[in-house]
């Protein structure tokens, strides 16, 4: 019989974590997203420190909350009219105890150091949950690729990589894409890295084109994985996705392939959105039309509604969470689903909410959903499919092979099943059955903490 660890925090453990929260806020001012991400993890760790006092001895939690390296640099570039612009580039290499830093690059006007630190901190635990030996990092720039020509995007990416390349390597730091960084941007970044280093180091970037080192299923992996995690949560409750209605926010890569996988598993995705508003389609989203509008034409969801016909209507502004559905999959950006949205979802009978984006649900909304008995999948577990297939891409690059689509999909399904089981069992072990937030945080923490202990105080 397995003995359950002590689940009540010792006073000294709780006091230490409370002091650390204050210290983090003092040392990292004006970074609310980073504070939010750290607090969410610290809120679940007191029982672990009580059960495993060795974690408290070498300042391990304090080291975990401080990035190993923070890089900020200038990115000058010229537009098509010859005007010079200056953006700011970032790379936060947060923790490499389990392997090389791994995490995407985000190009968006909202990017600042606090955003990148929040994303990098989340990435530590997400990557640990995959079991694939990758550390946590994140990067990006406040550059906005929207409305820029291919030539302008290329010049920006070349300038960005000219500085960043010195910090990268397949055994050091391996970026991928994120918001604003897709196949076009990865191509330009890789080309400049190759140009500068004179090395065909395919494993230095993931999300590459399938003809030059990319992996099958990489574009789909985050959305597919989140749907698989949602299905696993429903199965714990004796249900599946067949016949369920779904609301999905966003219309980028994650949202599109979330919709595609929902359709494949027999669900009916009703919505998509962008910054202008949302579309509700009573017949279910036509994923091929959405791909044409967003991926090929780079249009707006209003264009989808106009071309779809009578079944679809565009709602300017508004909240996608107003649409009644069985499951909700926030797939756009951080803190997009607030407490009032969660209350609306609960009133409308939502059964499960699973995060395709990074931290899209506010802490107040998470608490409300959990109190209402809604199955809640946190992003560090539910959207880990993207980085998992990135790690599989690194494996293929190392051996200079390309796996079949079927093999990659099988590996993705296995990894997401393992992540769900790990989170579910860890939550039960620490006296919080059904709490995937607690399960994900503790399981990821234990894997990283054990590696940090083994490697000494560095």
pLDDT digits (tens, 9 = 90+) for 393-409: 999 999 999 999 999 99
Q: Above pLDDT 70, what percent of the chain?
A: 98
- Does the annotation mark 138 as catalytic? yes
Q: What is the pLDDT of residue 7?
A: 44
In this chain, the answer to whether the domains covering 69-201 and 221-382 adopt an identical fold is yes
Q: What is the pLDDT of residue 371?
A: 98
The pair of structure tokens assigned to 337 is 């689903």
14 is in an annotated binding site: no
Give mean pLDDT, residues 348-357.
98
Question: How would residue 298 be classed by pLDDT, with cut points 50, 70 and 90?
Answer: confident
126 is in an annotated binding site: yes
Which residues, other chains included, contact 225 with Cβ-Cβ below 8 Å and sequence gap of 6+?
Answer: 382, 383, 384, 385, 386, 388, 412, 415, 416
Q: What is the pLDDT of residue 385?
A: 98
The pair of structure tokens assigned to 94 is 């947060």
DSSP letters along 90-151, please? EEEEEE-SSSSEEEEEEE-TT--HHHHHHHHHHHHHHHHHHTS--EEEEEEES---TT--HH
Q: What is the pLDDT of residue 218?
A: 95
pLDDT score of 91 more than 60: yes
Under CATH, which architecture does the 69-201 domain have?
3-Layer(aba) Sandwich (3.40)
pLDDT score of 456 more than 60: yes
Phi, psi of 180 (to 5 degrees): 80, -5
SS3 category, 352: strand
pLDDT score of 426 more than 70: yes
DSSP letters along 239-275, please? --STT-EEEE---SHHHHHHHHHHHHTT-EE-EEEET
Q: What is the pLDDT of residue 10?
A: 59
pLDDT score of 9 more than 80: no
102 is in an annotated binding site: yes
Q: Above pLDDT 90, what percent of the chain?
A: 94
Q: What is the pLDDT of residue 121?
A: 98
Among 138, 208, 294, 351, the active-site one is: 138
pLDDT score of 423 more than 60: yes
The candidate with the shortest Cα–Cα distance to 122, out of 201, 50, 191, 40, is 40
390 is in an annotated binding site: yes
438 is in an annotated binding site: no
Domain positions in the chain are 11-65, 69-201, 221-382
Length in residues, the chain: 458
**DSSP state for residue 210 in the 8-state scheme:** G
Q: What is the pLDDT of residue 56?
A: 86
Question: How would residue 241 be classed by pLDDT, with cut points 50, 70 and 90?
Answer: very high
Q: What is the pLDDT of residue 256?
A: 98
Spell out the SS3 assignment of 232-244: HHHHHCCCCCCCC
> Which CATH number is correct for 221-382, 3.40.50.2000, 3.30.750.24, 1.10.3720.10, 3.40.50.720?
3.40.50.720
pLDDT digits (tens, 9 = 90+) for 211-232: 999 999 999 999 999 999 999 9
Strands 327-329 and 375-377: unpaired
Question: How would residue 458 be classed by pLDDT, with cut points 50, 70 and 90?
Answer: very high
Q: What is the pLDDT of residue 131?
A: 97
pLDDT score of 3 more than 70: no
pLDDT score of 8 more than 60: no
Give mean pLDDT, residues 53-76.
95
Strands across the sheet with 271-274, in order? 271-274, 277-281, 312-316
Q: What is the pLDDT of residue 1?
A: 31
pLDDT score of 178 more than 70: yes
Q: What is the pLDDT of residue 175?
A: 98
pLDDT score of 6 more than 80: no
Question: How would residue 294 be classed by pLDDT, with cut points 50, 70 and 90?
Answer: very high
Mean pLDDT of the chain: 95
Strands 101-107 and 173-176: parallel
pLDDT digits (tens, 9 = 90+) for 105-146: 999 999 999 999 999 999 999 999 999 999 999 999 999 999
């Amino acid at each position: 019989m397995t003995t359950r660890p002590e689940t009540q925090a010792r006073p000294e453990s709780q006091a230490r974590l409370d002091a650390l929260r204050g210290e983090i806020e003092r040392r990292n001012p004006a970074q609310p997203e980073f504070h939010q991400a750290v607090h969410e993890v610290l809120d679940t760790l007191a029982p672990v420190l009580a059960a495993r006092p060795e974690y408290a001895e070498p300042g391990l939690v304090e080291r975990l909350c401080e990035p190993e390296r923070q890089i900020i640099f200038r990115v000058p570039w010229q537009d098509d009219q010859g005007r010079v612009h200056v953006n700011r580039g970032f790379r936060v290499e947060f923790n490499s105890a389990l392997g090389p830093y791994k995490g995407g690059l985000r190009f968006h006007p909202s990017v600042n150091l606090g955003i990148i630190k929040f994303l990098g901190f989340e990435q530590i635990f997400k990557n640990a949950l995959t079991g694939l030996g990758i550390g946590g990092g994140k990067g990006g720039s406040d550059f906005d690729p929207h409305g820029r020509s291919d030539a302008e995007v290329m010049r920006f990416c070349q300038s960005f990589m000219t500085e960043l390349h010195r910090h990268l390597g397949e055994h050091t730091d391996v970026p991928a894409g994120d918001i604003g960084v897709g196949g076009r941007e990865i191509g330009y970044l890789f080309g400049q890295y190759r140009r500068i280093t004179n090395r065909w180091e395919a494993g230095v970037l993931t999300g590459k084109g399938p003809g030059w080192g990319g992996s099958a299923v990489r574009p789909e992996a985050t959305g597919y994985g989140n749907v698989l995690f949602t299905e696993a949560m429903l199965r714990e409750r004796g249900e599946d996705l067949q016949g369920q209605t779904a609301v999905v926010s966003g219309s980028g890569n994650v949202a599109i392939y979330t919709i595609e996988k929902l359709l494949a598993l027999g669900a009916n995705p009703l919505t998509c959105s962008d910054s202008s508003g949302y579309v509700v389609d009573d017949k279910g989203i036509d994923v091929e039309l959405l791909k044409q509008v967003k991926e090929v034409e780079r249009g707006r969801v209003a264009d989808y509604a106009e071309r779809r016909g009578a079944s679809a209507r565009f709602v300017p502004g508004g909240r996608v969470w107003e649409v009644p559905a069985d499951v909700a999959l926030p797939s756009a950006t951080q803190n997009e689903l607030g407490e009032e949205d969660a209350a609306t979802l609960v009133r409308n009978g939502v059964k499960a909410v699973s995060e395709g984006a990074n931290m899209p649900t506010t802490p107040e909304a998470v608490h409300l959903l959990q109190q209402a008995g809604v199955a809640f999948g946190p992003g560090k577990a539910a959207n880990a499919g993207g980085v998992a297939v990135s790690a599989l891409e690194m494996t293929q690059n190392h051996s200079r092979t390309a796996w079949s689509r079927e093999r990659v999909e099988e590996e993705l399904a296995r990894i997401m099943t393992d992540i769900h089981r790990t989170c579910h069992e860890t939550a039960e072990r620490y006296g919080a059955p059904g709490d995937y937030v607690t399960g994900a945080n503790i399981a990821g923490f234990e894997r990283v903490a054990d590696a940090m202990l083994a490697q000494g105080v560095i």
